[in-house]
A = this chain, B = another copy of it.
Amino acid sequence: MEKSYHMTPDEFRRYGRAVIDWIADYYEQVEKYPVMSQVQPGEIRARLPHAPPEHGEAFETILADVERLILPGITHWQSPNFFAYFPSNTSGPAILGELLSAGLGVQGMLWITSPACTELETHVLDWVAEMLDLPQTFRSTASGGGVIQDSASSATLCALLAARERALRNSSPKAKLRQRLVAYTSTQAHSSVEKAVRIAGLNPDNLRFIEVDDTYAMRPEALAQRVAADQAAGLLPFFVSATVGTTSSNAIDPLPQIGPICKQHDLWLHVDAAMSGTAALCPEYRFIHAGLEFADSYCFNPHKWMFTNFDCDCFYIARKADLIQALSVLPEYLRNQASESGAVIDYRDWQVPLGRRFRALKLWFVIRHYGIAGLQHHVRRHIELAQEFVRWVQDSPDFELAAPAPLNLVCFRHKAGDEFNRRLEDALNRSGKLYLTHTVLDGRYTLRLVVGQTQTEKQHVSAAWRQIQETAASLLSS
């Protein structure tokens, strides 16, 4: 054996157990910590040594420093009292799938660089399509297929790029046409649509934010009018990003009406169901996907609400050729017989980066550990708890609902006005007992409570409501 600074297999066994135990302890104690980190800007950094170590340190020291230096700066997304932003829930099987993926350390950029990495991903994404009852076109057995992206932002970007290239394919001069392309989304859509339009080099003025109805869903007649007006002005409408469950208020754009408009005008329809798609595991919530058969692409995030740790966005495309033509660049050093045969998928052509981890492993672990029935149980329970919260708000003399709550996100506000709600949010989050965030709906400051973390049960939602009422009362009387 040569001189080595590597961790030996025996050390790996010992320290590996220590980290596993650390995580198990963490989950057992997570409710003890303030949910939102209470540190000030720069506070964590100030405690770290200025210079990197010249010589290696003991693993025990490093792990102790996680507890001592890092933990105070953690906002506890895995706390059952985390109701902010969106869930980013994880689970035992997901964590262990990620661990195994890190251990195997394979690159899945080409089929040949680890055939199992590609084939398990294709297979599990077909499973997921079946579990959510997605249209047949999205299956790998048809013209389409699924791929794991890091995030819905990247999925939206890939959809936009495929749509852009499809729109320009038979046109010239491309340069002029590119600047006349017009994309559409609602005023309530995620910021990733605007970011994708910018990245793709389209004219930022050519992204239309279509008005919404009183449920904050896109108004299809407004879309149709705007498309017609743009065409009349000599522009080239090409892309619509619709949302199933907006980040702001969980609004569901009406695909059955938007879809035919897209077909009529040959617009690419992308559907972003980042959080809410998971609800379609349960037949009674599949109404959210009505009209999805019109979509050219679709994504949802098991890393939000399906117990799979970030990053794991499932992105489906109806015609995989559209995506590959937009993203494939083949240098000599990546050529190989399997790819040239055309018999395999090379996922590097389905995404922005070249390299990729074996992310299908954790999704496979999650589906097999829970089974469809187990996943349905927990998703139903989260929705039930949110709906119970809805009733509490409705029954309260001081609070009101701010938007429909079809699933697990509740938008509500105290009747005392914007400034009061802002102070209420701040006081609640500073208490450390729960964490929730806000949005603005119809110009009014609105609190958001999402039920979706793995360990969130009735007691946590009840305690949150109690804390909200008590804090409001205390602010009013102070």
Contacts and interface: CB of A to CB of B under 8 A. Distances in A.
A61 B157 CA distance: 38
A66 B201 contact: no
Give the interface SS of chain A, mostly helix, strand, loop or mixed: helix
B119 A73 contact: yes
A311 B78 contact: no
Given A23-B103, A99-B99, A106-B75, A115 B39 contact: yes
A178 interface: yes
Contact of A77 (B70, B106, B373): B106
Interface string A41-70: 111110010011111110101100010011
Copies of this chain, how many?
2
A85 interface: yes
A75 B13 CA distance: 24
Contacts of A330: 191
A44 B116 contact: yes
A107 B9 contact: no
A387 interface: no
A248 interface: yes
Contacts of A66: 100, 361
Contacts of A333: 85, 247-248, 437-439, 448
A324 interface: no
A440 interface: yes
A51 B44 CA distance: 48
Interface string A312-337: 00000000000000110111111011
Q: Which of A74, A105, A332 is packed against the most chain B CB atoms within 10 Å? A: A105
B151 A178 contact: no
Kindly name the residue among A199, A311, A370 whose own CB sees the greatest number of chain B CB atoms within 10 A: A199
Interface stretch (A219-227, A255-263, A285-293, A350-358): A350-358
Band of interface residues on A: 35 or more
Contacts of A309: 102, 105
B15 A17 contact: no
A251 interface: no
Which residue of A21, A55, A119, A157 has the most chain B CB atoms within 10 A of its CB atom? A119
Interface stretch (A393-401, A453-461, A464-472): A453-461
Contacts of A191: 329-331, 334, 354
A120 interface: yes
Interface in A8-52: 9-13, 15-17, 19-28, 36-37, 39, 41-45, 48, 51-52
A331 B56 contact: no
Nearest to A357: B310
A194 interface: yes
A169 interface: no
Nearest to A25: B9
Given A7-B91, A373-B54, A116 B74 contact: yes
Nearest to A140: B45
A313 to B, nearest CB: 9
Contacts of A113: 75, 77, 85
B381 A2 contact: yes
Contact of A201 (B48, B114, B164, B354): B164
A343 interface: yes
A275 to B, nearest CB: 12
A178 B198 contact: no
A99 B45 CA distance: 22
Given A21-B13, A41-B344, A338-B41, A374 B75 contact: no
A-B CB proximity, top 7 nearest: A201-B201, A73-B116, A7-B92, A5-B374, A16-B20, A23-B103, A175-B179
Given A13-B24, A56-B373, A174-B203, 16 more contacts: A15-B92, A19-B99, A20-B99, A44-B119, A55-B371, A62-B369, A69-B116, A75-B106, A102-B309, A151-B354, A153-B353, A175-B179, A248-B331, A248-B332, A310-B357, A352-B352
